Amino acid sequence: MGANTGADEKKLERLKELTAKLKEAAKAYYAEDREVMSNLEYDRLYDELLSLENETGITLAGSPTQRVGYEAAESLPKERHAAPMLSLDKTKSREELAEWLGDQEGLLSIKLDGLTVVLTYRGGRLFKAVTRGDGEVGEVITENAKAFTNVPLAIPFEGELVLRGEAVISYADFDRINEKIEAEAATLGRTDELGYKNPRNLCSGSVRQLDPKVTAERSVRFIAFSLVTAEGADFKDSHEEEFIFLKKLGFEVVPYVRVGAADVVDAVGRYEREIPEMPVPSDGLVLLMDGISYGASLGRTAKFPRNAIAFKWMDAQAETELLQIEWSASRTGLLNPVAVFSPVELEGTTVRRASVHNLSIVKSLELGIGDRILVYKANMIIPQIADNLTRSGSAAIPESCPVCGGKTLIKGDEQVQVLYCPNPDCAAKRIKAFSMFVSRPAMGIDGLSEMSLEKLISAGLIHEFADIYRLSGKRGEIAGLDGFGEKSADKLLAAIEKSRKTTPDRVLAAVGIPGVGPAGARILCRRYAGDIARIREAGEEELSETDGIGPVLASQIRSFFENESNSAMFDRLLAELSVDAGAFAAAPADSPVSGKTFVVTGSLSHFENRDALKRFIEERGGKVTGSVTKKTDYLINNDAASTSSKNKKAAELGIPILTEEGFLEMIGEDA
């Protein structure tokens, strides 16, 4: 192994940082029509990245210096592995693990729960990627591997390199993707279609896609755990040296510690405390003898190599009493059962609830209120029911939805049955409307994610917008919800209270008037000096005369407020709020901003964000648009020397470019 092979740690970290930063900037610019940095800054960072890639010989997947086209396959070809991929012998005893190591030094690492993949590099480039398959034959997924978030496409090693690792998906990405899958299924009417059961299943399906674009959307990571071949390299008879070598080549390597027999029990204990906080799934540990030649001399059995052993967690179980089964409503209409039981201590935490997943599992466990059940934490993280000791089978299947009261349906087949609410107006299905209501451009309630909203709705705490402001008397119920707690409940209630004092445009943008977003709401408030009562009473013709409204939107606004249900809902909401229209009422007609059209781009220093500056301009009678045209009066960009497309267009049209300071000076306000 040459002294100059690979990158030092600082250069490698900088290379990873630049790749991620430039990928994000490109995504913002091309996919989201926003700029997170100037073209000058992008070019400077791009040049630095290119220089680092040339210097280290490492190019990571997704690097903006590469243009990797994703080519879909009609089927995944199969290929036999050069050497069979064996399973590992297992133990659940920490003392047995230490005894197995004997007088040798070992590497104790996390056993990741994903899909094993073998990567082959030739001439410094990724040549091939193959799944584990049955250990003898795997599927070729080379194009998909190029779509992983962190696989090096080029490395500073010219000889043939073969390594094994685990493709994994984080818990956070698992939740995000499952929500998207279920929402899309509901949109298509496939209401009995569930998301993936766990991150491992999702990862397996993502890695083995025929279309690599799907893999790219799933945020799959590759974490190396074994070097098979490195042509011509010398690792000083140490597997740890192999890990160090792989790190220098740009690979993410499985976390490990070096141990002797005397250290094993303590090291396992440290991992036991750390694993529940890990972002990716794990199902145990692996102890590998560090000495390469000694380990090889031990040979193998028919099933296992003798130089490594797996440690599986002994799942701690606790007996408790089933108190109730909650049926949690989701945006797809599915009603998911959650077991609530007398609190028990498991793996150092107090557990009160466990998902039962679907109706079929409720039936197979023959659950009933008051039953004695055994609960455990799968992989020390996810509470599950291991068994029902009583099996009374007396649990009632709800005939009405806990959120809307509508009649429920049972869907599916004998293998998997789910309970479903078919009511299209069920509040649980209106999660997007509630999400828009609490969003930053609307009521701006921090801490109310879609997941939190779904829990509050499923618990029957929220049915309409006004209910959000009635939660102050339900602190205990909120704190008892899965994923909450006393601190989270207090923080949420404080954010809700803060949002009570608001402006009329935020209210109008929040309630879901068709076609009226934040910009349209501000137009209405400027026209009517922020007087919501006047807006509600205005006729179609009068509304349509407002610049930026028009007859179609005017008709939608009028129809919304003429609807008795909407009007009553709006009244109940206003009763909970303190609406200050002062900013619109006080906007001077002779303001330097009045009647002018602005475009805002780039980062800001005096205003919190672009929305804040946009609001500032519109409250003074100005208008903000997204693109520079002949109608634009000013472009606001703190980087006046930027070569961005907006700056170029402004220069072509002779439109003045102002910094924030220049803008504030122009209108006579202090910077």
What is the C-alpha separation between 522 and 526, in angstroms, rounded?
6
Name residues whose C-beta falls within 8 Å of residue 126's C-beta, 6 or more positions apart in sequence. Answer: 119, 120, 142, 145, 146, 151, 152, 153, 154
Spatial distance between the Cα atoms of 191 and 119, rounded to a whole number of angstroms: 39
Residue 141 near residue 129, CB atoms below 8 Å: yes
Q: Rounded to whole angstroms, how far apart are CA atoms 521 and 549? A: 10
- Alpha-carbon span 258 to 105, nearest angstrom: 7
- Cα distances from 249 to residues 6, 11, 74, 144, in angstroms, run 5, 11, 33, 20
Count of H-run helices and E-run strands, the chain: 25, 26
Distance separating alpha carbons of residues 71 and 101, to the nearest angstrom: 46
Task: Say how far apart CA 139 and CA 455 lie, in whole Å.
Answer: 40
Determine phi and psi for 416, rounding to 5 degrees. -135, 115
SS3 122: strand
**What is the Cα–Cα distance from 139 to 597, expressed in whole angstroms?**
57
Structure tokens at 561: 């407020």
Does the annotation mark 111 as catalytic? yes
User: Which of 11, 23, 78, 111 is flagged as catalytic?
Assistant: 111
The Cα–Cα gap between 527 and 546 comes to 7
At residue 358, what are phi and psi to the nearest 5 degrees?
A: -160, 175
**What is the distance between the alpha carbons of residues 173 and 81, in angstroms, rounded to a whole number?**
31
Q: Are 423 and 404 in contact (CB under 8 A)?
A: yes
C-alpha–C-alpha distance, residues 42 and 48, integer Å: 10
To which residue do tokens 């609307």 refer? Answer: 442
Positions marked active-site: 111
